[in-house]
Amino acid sequence: MTALLEARGLRLAFGGVKAADGIDLAVMRAEFLAIIGPNGAGKTTFINMVTGYLRPQGGTITYEGAEITGRRPREIVRRGIARSFQLPQLFSEHTVEENAALAIAARQGIWSPFVPLLRPAWRDEARELLDRFGLLPLATRRADALNEGTRKLADIAMAVALKPRLLLMDEPTSGVSASEKMAVVETLARVLREAGVTAVFVEHDMDVVARFADRVAVWSQGRIVALGPPAQILADPVVQREVIGIERHA
Ligand SMILES: Nc1ncnc2c1ncn2[C@@H]1O[C@H](COP(=O)(O)OP(=O)(O)OP(=O)(O)O)[C@@H](O)[C@H]1O
């Protein structure tokens, strides 16, 4: 495996708070890498820096061999990096199919929600995409009528519509009920593996991490304090005490 994304020495402080304090991380092609750590550790800040929403004050980000540090979000999307947010970004008054079509239009450089929504080519691609996520039966449902699990999947389908080679997901299971969670992640993992998408995801549920991550990076106070396979990292007493213990009570 070769590195798809490489962060070197990333630094970013907000006033006195070091949200990134020398982040070094290589994400390998085709891996699923989980980011865990207590609230405020800097996990979202890392995603924001990679996707161009925040500019690091120091360090470099290299993707597919090219430096992308400080590039704007749209350029980063064009290069093949997409993201999903902690809260789904769907247009609530549009149907699932229309949301997917909007994402496909966005990939083609059309970013307005006011464009004619269902050009046949977009609709066909939208329906094919939704089918991969098992969402076709809900295609004509309004996004605000979905339950949290399907809303999350629809939101991630929109990111996948951008045809990324790297997808960063901020808490893909947050808000999803315990009974739905594993099915949601299984669908997600299947679609991403079939499409050959490398995934980095922030996750607070250690069962999800244990089952789906190839490697786990542990964040604490703007630093990566441990990195390795889930079996090793989740069994580490320091991680258990300082990360998992905190998360259980968060
Ligand atoms: N735009 C901002 N302005 C000021 N401070 C910020 C900003 N973004 C993040 N921070 C601070 O930087 C630190 C890291 O925040 P970040 O959201 O990256 O943590 P996190 O690990 O994702 O936390 P959580 O698990 O709660 O989402 C926190 O102390 C946060 O308050």
pLDDT beneath 50: ranges in the chain: 250
pLDDT of the residue at 241:
84
- Ligand 1 within 6 A of 250 CB? no
- Ligand 1 within 6 A of 112 CB? no
Closest to 5 in 3D by CA, of 85, 83, 60: 60
Tens digits of per-residue pLDDT, 13-23?
999 999 999 99
Q: Where are the beta strands (DSSP E) in 15-126?
A: 17-28, 32-36, 58-63, 66-67, 81-84
- Please state, in angstroms and as integers, the Cα–Cα distance from residue 69 to each residue in 24, 128, 152, 205, following that order: 14, 34, 29, 30
All structural domains of the chain, each given as residue ranges with its CATH number in brackets, are 3-89+152-240 (3.40.50.300)
Closest to 225 in 3D by CA, of 215, 236, 217, 213: 217
- Ligand 1 within 6 A of 59 CB? no
pTM of the model: 0.92
Tens digits of per-residue pLDDT, 174-200?
888 888 999 999 999 999 999 999 999
Amino acid at 246: I
What's the rounded Cα separation, in Å, for the pair 145 and 3? Answer: 40
pLDDT of the residue at 120:
75
Map residue 152 onto helix, strand or coil. Answer: helix
- Ligand 1 within 6 A of 40 CB? yes
pLDDT of the residue at 68:
97
Q: What is the CA radius of gyration of the chain?
A: 18
Cβ contacts of 65 within 8 Å, gap of 6 or more: none
- Report the separation in Å between the CA atom of 245 and the middle of ligand 1, taken as the mean of its atom positions: 20
Q: Which two tokens stand for residue 5?
A: 């994304």
Residue nearest to atom 2 of ligand 1 (CA): 14
